[in-house]
Structure 1
Amino acid sequence: MKMTDYVPGTPCWVDLMTTDLDGAKAFYGGLFGWTAQVADDPAAGGYVLFELDGVQAAGGMKTMSADQPTAWSTYVAVTDADATMAKATAAGAQPIVAPMDVTDVGRMAMFADPTGAILGLWQPRSMKGAGVVNEPGALTWDELNTRDAAAAKTFYAAAFGWTAETSAMGEGMEYTELQVDGRTVAGLMEMDDEHFPKETPPHWAVYFGVADCDASVAKVGALGGTVVVPTTPIPPGWFAVCQDPQGGFFSLFEAKEPAGAAS
């Protein structure tokens, strides 16, 4: 699906901070068919735009310090990064990157929510966000994994006006859909020690679409990555959790055929 704009409060972009940008280009290019274009403006600091069939799908940049781990970040579209950052801080967030202009393409900021998960804000100018979503090789889902779902729901309601629709998913676990005006924009799951290692910090997980989860999982291994959770069925389809060769976590998602599609 091609995108030209995002409703405020909707996740709109993901990017990768990596210890090995050339390695990331090779890995994700091999896995998703991405090509890497370095941003033209020297002020962008070598920021890379990963493109899927010529359309911006995600971003990437080399880590800025030796102790910074490889990680994917999610950004939520906002109309005013400064005002939203102030609202988030008042609700208990810890600022990480103060609102700042990113050349002439937009304005960004980052914070850690009260449960410890890091999230970015994106106030668009010429760059609205990912130009393609919800298809193989593109972002399909953003999900908050936290150890305090109640605190997270309260915080994001204050910061973005998100409402929470929670339902049982079996084995004593629940899944929450985070919504803007009744439209689901992201997910939330409370981590427990049975399904998540104790050392796993709260985080925003990113999911990329694939046409065949099993085939993509095999490709992850062939390209030097690691499969953390193998292909697993869920009501909308199948998912797997992986790590790239530099240690960055990401997930794959294969959707079931739409209702009424030919079998």
Structure 2
Amino acid sequence: MQTTFAGHCVLCENDTTFELKDSKTYRSMQCIRCGSVSRNRALWFALNRAFPKWRQLVIHESSPGWDIVSRRLAVECTHYVASQYEDDLPLGHLVTGTKLPCKKYQVENLEKQTFKENMFDLVITQDVFEHVFDPLAAIADIARTLKPGGSTLMSVPVVRRFNSSRRRARLVDGKIEHLLEPEYHGNPVSGDGALVTVDWGYDISSQLSNASGMYFVMQTFENMDLGIRDECNQILIGYKAPLPDIN
């Protein structure tokens, strides 16, 4: 299997080489210049195509990390707000002086945020919704914080594809109950990792729409010239607006 590909990175905006760090999956395809992976570039491509004036929007990014997407959003977005969940700090607490690119963030639980209604034009999450214990409550609260006509943009690994979504772990009386073997992903604020709570299928769009009242579109991007290919990572855009009238 070929492991290096010449192309152009939409994130660092350079001609570059994309290299598979794991020769078995395109999910590991990394830009040798900026370190971005395919899901970063897919989300960035979607952001610029769907929201070309994003730099002037009021944007909330939940759980930003060290990646170049979060770095560019923090620097280039005029009205950027970051949040992280930390169970040992009170909700609404402002953490300053962090080494994360966002420099500061507000402690928030996506399921019950302290943000007021109608605050944001756009809410961005990168690989967050497979880690939320109650993702349906989270998307409903995201809708609450969006202005009328606002949107949410998210990358989510849809690992189940045409199979129904399934729960891996849940909270029962405040304790974690594992329904499947525990699986963890990286966590920007904890070395313990982030527990995967849901394996999503293509029904994710309907699940999120039913819970939030927003309508969702799910897109899969593939362009090897831009280093965008991933076996299970989809980009979802939710709109806090009525469906277009096509009558």
Q: What TM-score results when the alignment is normalised by the length of structure 2?
A: 0.30
Q: What TM-score results when the alignment is normalised by the length of structure 1?
A: 0.29
